[in-house]
């Protein structure tokens, strides 16, 4: 057993760190933990696209850097520690792997390069008003007419739909079979007639989410991924990719670092042993998560199946993100209370803490809620799958 | 021992509930959020008309001389109804200070306060003090017949609306000493006083108040020179109990809304309330609210105790306890609502923010556990 990175990996880390230091946008302060400015985000992703590092989880044959799982992990850690925002995950982490596994060569060559270059944002059209945890009950209908599908229905909670060129969308194509078997995976142009996007403001006061209404939207049959009725299988494949990224370990390291900084700038906090213990406890939890993640990466590297292991990471990772932001708010105290950064006094970490804390309530809800993840793990442990 | 409300208290509770739920509620709250200082003069006037502003003030000054328990009944209803008007920071806190220590001229301010014609704010917390009111690094130095004040106050609730500010300033001793703290009333528009105003997370407004050579006359002093700490501590305790009652109203509302949602929201073909893990969570929330209610009741009686240690112990116990339970209830109300819980559309997320602010205001759980631990054990 060896807990250290190999000399090659260490050299890799040094290379990434140097590049990040030179290239992370200078304004990348604490605010950037919540990417919500399309232009800033697009410029940052373009820059990485040019460097060839944006599609960091993709193999070289599809335009990625072809890194090992360990290298990707190092990259993401260095990215976060440099204070740079995470990438918009929908094209890079979710659709990319799906198209590589299920897409036609035409679909791959049309969509993958522009995801890897950062030219096109995607959004994920899964959830509906009546179908959240019970996703398979979704009702948005796609009816085939010749060489097109005509899509009608409503999606909700669609992150960054207002940024996106395309949406990958689960639609019902058959109502006569068990619900999981009647679902198909379609790629929809967000500029198509019949699409209406309405903003939803979240409790951090920002616009990340949307409702997407689809009325007689025409989708060429060439935009079907896999077979008709294969949508659920594809969605499950995608979810395992989605969840490994949701532990947020690298960003938690960054935020703990931010909190340390803010505490050290305020003697009344820095000199308080209870405050230092609270920081230590958060770091201990993060270390447990990190090493669990590293064990998972090791399993991936050996080609062993991930199984429900990603659920455990998601449960603890999201709880820890919440706990760190909670500590930022509570230690910030009165300095955390001015709303929406309207006052420029006080430490910037504390000033933006309540927004993070508010938004991060969502991380135990999205990507499969904590309760749903626990249901999955329980079935596995009890063998009741 | 008798925990029942008398008939007057029941009437008070009924009318406060009626106003808060029917006359106020989420819609009016949202409208008020768009107003300057998050204060609707019409709502404040209504509250004066009902007699709620006069309630905690002494009869000698046009008040009703109500008990702290009476005040908590109103405050709880206001919390449930999301009433943004500054009942605690603009009335209970300055009202208590003026009642305890105001000179004749200052006592007259109580009449205006009771009638709803005056907004006041109290500034005591400072940067780096962890909300210990004995810290007080702001200084007042005698000059001529008056005083010159230098220092700053953090997050003074209701200051953007206030015509007068009551602030603590040290006239002797060093930060941390109880002795040597004096209270002064200052004019926010006076030379040498500047305000950085902002809306608060969870609603309401506040300001950081900077005093840079601000002069006040001798009669701006409340009480005796150097003896302001005991007054401030007593008034803050009264405000803290009222703030706890307000939080209790919000917590109760969240439990009701969550229970209702678990009954109507269906997933997997059944109400989500049929999932045992959610049932147990709801029960934990409910039990937290019930225990918090007990703490508010207890503190509302003991805050009037002549024994200062008893008063402090009771109030800190309540605030420390509700600091924890309000967080649990707020977090899980959001979680159990799923996506809709994290939106601006639903009141749940707004209660969540209000309770998050409550956890910090008037001293957080850590501060009150500290204070509790520093007191002699109850006899
Ligand atoms: C910030 C944010 C971003 C999002 N982004 C996207 C996106 O880009 N695209 C997209 O398609 N969706 C997105 N979502 C939607 C997200 O996937 C759903 O919110 C999630 O699946 C939960 O569904 P729901 O909100 O309908 O809650 P519900 O499913 O109604 O759940 C309500 C509560 O019931 C619990 N519950 C439900 N079923 C069970 C059960 N069987 N056992 C125990 N407890 C249960 C849940 O855990 C939750 O606490 C996003 C959501 C948020 C908050």
CATH code: domain of residue A297: 1.20.140.10
Mean pLDDT of A243-259: 85
Mean pLDDT of A68-94: 90
Q: How far is CA B303 from CA A234, A371, B125, B296, B359, in A?
A: 62, 42, 21, 10, 19
Which residues of chain A are within 8 Å of residue B200 when distances are taken between CB atoms?
Answer: 337-339
Atom of ligand 1 nearest to the CA of B265: 30
Mean pLDDT of A55-76: 92
CA dihedral A299, A302, A308, A313 (to 10 degrees): 30
Q: How far is A177 from chain B (nearest CA, A)?
A: 17
Looking at residue A342, what is its pLDDT?
65
Residue from the list A268, A346, A364 with its beta carbon closest to the beta carbon of B130: A268
Q: How far is A340 from chain B (nearest CA, A)?
A: 8
Give yes or no for A271 touching B (CB within 8 A).
no
Range(s) of the domain holding residue A347: 246-382
Domain boundary among the residues A230, A264, A290 is at: A230
Burial of residue A191 (number of CB atoms within 10 Å: 0-12, 13-18, 19+): exposed
Residue from the list B201, B268, B334 with its beta carbon closest to the beta carbon of A354: B201
How many CA atoms, within 13 angstroms, populate the side-chain half-sphere of residue B326? 31
Looking at residue A243, what is its pLDDT?
60
Residue from the list B196, B199, B360 with its beta carbon closest to the beta carbon of A333: B360
Q: Is residue A209 part of a domain?
A: yes
pLDDT in tens, chain B (379 residues): 888 999 999 999 999 999 998 889 999 999 999 999 999 999 999 999 999 999 999 999 899 999 999 999 999 999 999 999 999 999 999 999 999 997 788 888 999 999 999 999 999 999 999 999 999 999 999 999 999 999 999 999 999 999 999 999 999 999 999 999 999 999 999 999 999 999 999 999 999 999 999 999 999 999 999 999 999 999 999 999 999 999 999 999 999 999 999 999 999 999 999 999 999 999 999 999 999 999 999 999 999 999 999 999 999 999 999 999 999 999 999 999 999 999 999 999 999 999 999 999 999 999 999 999 999 988 7
Q: Which of B319, B106, B348, B129 is nearest to B251 (CA)?
A: B348
- Annotated domain spans of chain B: 7-119, 121-226, 229-374
pLDDT tens, position by position, A9-52? 999 999 999 999 999 876 644 454 556 788 888 999 999 999 99
Q: Is residue A117 part of a domain?
A: no
* A262 and A182 co-located in one domain: no
* A305 and A378 co-located in one domain: yes
Chain B residue with the nearest C-alpha to that of A205: B344
* A193 and A294 co-located in one domain: no
Interface of A with B in 340-369 (CB under 8 A): 340, 342-343, 345-346, 354, 357-359, 361-362, 364-366, 369
* Cα A186 from Cα A173, distance rounded (Å): 10
Mean pLDDT of A73-82: 92
* A257 and A366 co-located in one domain: yes
Which residues of chain A are within 8 Å of residue B199 when distances are taken between CB atoms?
Answer: 338-340, 342
The catalytic residues of A are 242
Looking up tokens 């270059």 gives A117
Q: Is residue A203 part of a domain?
A: yes
Looking at residue A245, what is its pLDDT?
65
pLDDT tens, position by position, B178-193? 999 999 999 999 999 9
Helix or strand run (H / E) with residue A16: helix A7-23
Domain boundary among the residues A162, A197, A230 is at: A230
pLDDT tens, position by position, A147-185? 999 999 999 999 999 999 999 999 999 999 999 999 999
* A361 and A254 co-located in one domain: yes
Looking at residue A59, what is its pLDDT?
95
Looking at residue A30, what is its pLDDT?
46
Looking at residue A32, what is its pLDDT?
43
Which residues of chain B are within 8 Å of residue A335 when distances are taken between CB atoms?
Answer: 127, 154-155
Looking at residue A122, what is its pLDDT?
98
Q: Which of B202, B145, B378 is nearest to A205 (CA)?
A: B202
Q: Are A247 and A317 in contact (CB under 8 A)?
A: yes
Q: Is residue A217 part of a domain?
A: yes
Give yes or no for A203 touching B (CB within 8 A).
yes
* A273 and A183 co-located in one domain: no
Which band of pLDDT confidence, cut at 50, 70 and 90, is reported for residue A84?
confident
CB contact under 8 A, B268 and A337: no
Chain A residue with the nearest C-alpha to that of B362: A334
Give the best residue of B207, B339, B363 to mutate against chain A (max A CB count within 10 A): B339
* A222 and A260 co-located in one domain: no
Which residues of chain B are within 8 Å of residue A370 when distances are taken between CB atoms?
Answer: 335
* A213 and A262 co-located in one domain: no
CB contact under 8 A, A201 and B349: no
Q: Which residues contact B131 (CB under 8 A, 6 or more apart)?
A: A333, A334, B125, B362, B363, B364, B367
Q: Is residue A235 part of a domain?
A: no
pLDDT at A345 over 80: no
* Cα B357 from Cα A336, distance rounded (Å): 9
What percent of chain A lies above the pLDDT cut of 70? 94
* A42 and A154 co-located in one domain: no
Of the candidate ranges A124-128, A176-180, A340-344, B26-30, the one whose mean pLDDT is the lowest: A340-344
Mean pLDDT over all residues of chain A? 92
> To which CATH superfamily is domain B121-226 assigned?
Butyryl-CoA Dehydrogenase, subunit A, domain 2 (2.40.110.10)
Which residues of chain A are within 8 Å of residue B202 when distances are taken between CB atoms?
Answer: 337, 339
* A197 and A264 co-located in one domain: no
How many Cβ atoms are within 10 Å of B273's Cβ, its own excluded? 19
Looking at residue A35, what is its pLDDT?
64
**Number of separate domains in chain A:** 3
* Cα A73 from Cα B3, distance rounded (Å): 60
How many whole angstroms from A133 Cα to the centroid of ligand 1?
A: 5
| Residues in a beta bridge with B270 | B267
* A153 and A250 co-located in one domain: no
Q: Which CATH class is domain B229-374?
A: mainly alpha
Looking at residue A364, what is its pLDDT?
96
CB contact under 8 A, B128 and A268: yes
Q: Is B185 left (phi over 0), alpha (psi -120 to 50) or beta?
A: beta
Q: How far is B358 from chain A (nearest CA, A)?
A: 10
**Residue whose CA lies nearest to ligand 1 atom number 29:** A133
**Residue whose CA lies nearest to ligand 1 atom number 32:** B338
Looking at residue B29, what is its pLDDT?
97
Q: Is residue A114 part of a domain?
A: no
Mean pLDDT over all residues of chain B? 96
Chain A residue with the nearest C-alpha to that of B324: A330
CATH number for region B7-119: 1.10.540.10
Q: Which residues contact A372 (CB under 8 A, 6 or more apart)?
A: A133
Helix or strand run (H / E) with residue B229: helix B228-264
Q: Is residue A111 part of a domain?
A: no
CB contact under 8 A, B364 and A337: no
Q: How far is A268 from chain B (nearest CA, A)?
A: 6
* A225 and A250 co-located in one domain: no
**Residue whose CA lies nearest to ligand 1 atom number 2:** A366
**What ipTM score was computed for the predicted complex, to two decimals?**
0.96
Looking at residue A290, what is its pLDDT?
92
């Amino acid at each position: 057993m060896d807990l250290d990175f190999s000399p090659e990996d260490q050299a890799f880390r040094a290379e990434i760190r140097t590049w990040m230091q030179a290239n992370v946008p200078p304004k990348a302060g604490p605010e950037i933990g919540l990417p919500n400015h399309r232009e800033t985000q697009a410029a940052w992703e373009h820059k990485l696209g040019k460097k060839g590092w944006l599609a960091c989880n993709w193999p070289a044959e599809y335009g990625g850097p072809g890194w090992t799982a360990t290298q990707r992990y190092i990259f993401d850690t260095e990215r976060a520690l440099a204070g740079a925002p995470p990438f918009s995950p929908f094209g890079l982490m979710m659709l990319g792997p799906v198209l590589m596994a299920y897409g036609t060569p035409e679909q791959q060559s049309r969509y993958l390069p522009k995801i890897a270059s950062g030219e096109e944002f995607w959004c994920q059209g899964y959830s509906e008003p009546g179908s959240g945890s019970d996703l398979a009950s979704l009702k948005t209908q796609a009816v085939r007419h010749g060489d097109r599908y005509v899509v009608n229905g409503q999606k909700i909670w669609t992150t960054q739909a207002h940024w996106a060129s395309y949406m990958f969308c689960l639609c019902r194509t058959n109502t006569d079979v068990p619900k999981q078997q009647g679902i198909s995976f379609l790629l929809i142009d967000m500029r198509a007639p019949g699409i209406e996007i309405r903003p939803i403001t979240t409790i951090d006061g920002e616009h990340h989410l949307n409702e997407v209404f689809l009325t007689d939207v025409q989708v060429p049959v060439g935009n079907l991924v896999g077979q008709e009725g294969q949508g659920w299988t594809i969605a499950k494949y995608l979810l395992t990719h989605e969840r490994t990224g949701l532990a947020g370990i690298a960003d938690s390291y960054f935020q703990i670092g931010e909190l340390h900084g803010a505490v050290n700038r305020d003697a009344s906090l820095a000199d308080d042993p209870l405050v230092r213990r609270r920081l230590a406890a958060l770091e201990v939890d993060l270390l447990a998560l990190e090493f669990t993640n590293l064990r998972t990466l090791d399993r991936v590297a050996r080609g062993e199946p991930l199984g429900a292991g990603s659920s455990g990471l998601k449960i603890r990772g999201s709880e820890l993100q919440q706990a760190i932001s909670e500590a930022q708010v509570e230690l910030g105290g009165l300095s955390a209370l001015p709303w929406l950064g309207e006052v420029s006094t006080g430490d910037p970490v504390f000033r933006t803490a309540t927004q993070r804390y508010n938004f991060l309530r969502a991380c135990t809800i999205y990507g499969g809620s904590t309760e749903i993840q626990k249901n999955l793990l329980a079935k596995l442990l009890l063998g009741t799958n | 021992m008798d925990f029942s409300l008398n008939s007057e208290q029941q009437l008070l509770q009924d009318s406060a509930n009626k106003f808060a739920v029917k006359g106020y509620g989420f819609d009016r709250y949202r409208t008020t959020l768009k107003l300057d200082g998050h204060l609707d003069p019409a709502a404040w006037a209504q509250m004066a008309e009902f007699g709620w502003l006069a309630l905690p003030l002494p009869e000698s000054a046009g008040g009703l001389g109500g008990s702290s328990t009476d005040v908590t009944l109103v405050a709880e209803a206001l919390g449930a109804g999301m009433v943004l008007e500054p009942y605690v920071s603009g009335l209970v806190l300055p009202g208590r200070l003026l009642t305890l220590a105001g000179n004749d001229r200052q006592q007259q301010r109580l009449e205006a306060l009771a009638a709803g014609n005056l907004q006041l704010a109290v500034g005591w917390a400072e940067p780096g003090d962890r909300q210990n009111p004995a810290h007080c690094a702001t200084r007042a130095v005698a000059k001529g017949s008056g005083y010159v004040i230098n220092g700053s106050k953090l997050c003074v609730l209701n200051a953007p609306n206030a015509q007068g500010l009551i602030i603590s300033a040290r006239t002797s001793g060093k930060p941390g000493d109880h002795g040597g703290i004096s209270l002064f009333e200052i004019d926010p528009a006076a030379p040498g006083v500047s305000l950085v105003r902002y809306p608060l997370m969870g609603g309401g407004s506040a300001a950081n108040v900077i005093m840079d050579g601000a002069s006040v006359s001798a009669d701006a002093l409340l009480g005796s020179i150097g003896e302001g700490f005991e007054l401030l501590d007593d008034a803050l305790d009264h405000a803290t109990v009222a703030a706890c009652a307000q939080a209790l109203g919000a917590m109760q509302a969240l439990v009701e809304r969550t229970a209702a949602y678990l009954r109507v929201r269906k997933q997997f073909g059944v109400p989500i309330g049929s999932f045992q893990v959610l049932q147990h969570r709801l029960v934990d929330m409910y039990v937290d609210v019930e225990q918090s209610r007990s703490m508010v009741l207890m503190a509302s009686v003991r805050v009037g105790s002549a024994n200062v240690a008893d008063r402090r112990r009771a109030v800190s116990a309540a605030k420390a306890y509700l600091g924890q339970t309000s967080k649990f209830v707020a977090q899980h109300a959001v979680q159990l609502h799923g996506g809709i819980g994290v939106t601006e559309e639903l009141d749940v997320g707004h209660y969540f923010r209000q309770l998050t602010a409550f956890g910090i205001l008037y001293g957080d759980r850590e501060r009150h556990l500290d204070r509790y631990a520093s007191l002699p054990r109850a006899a």
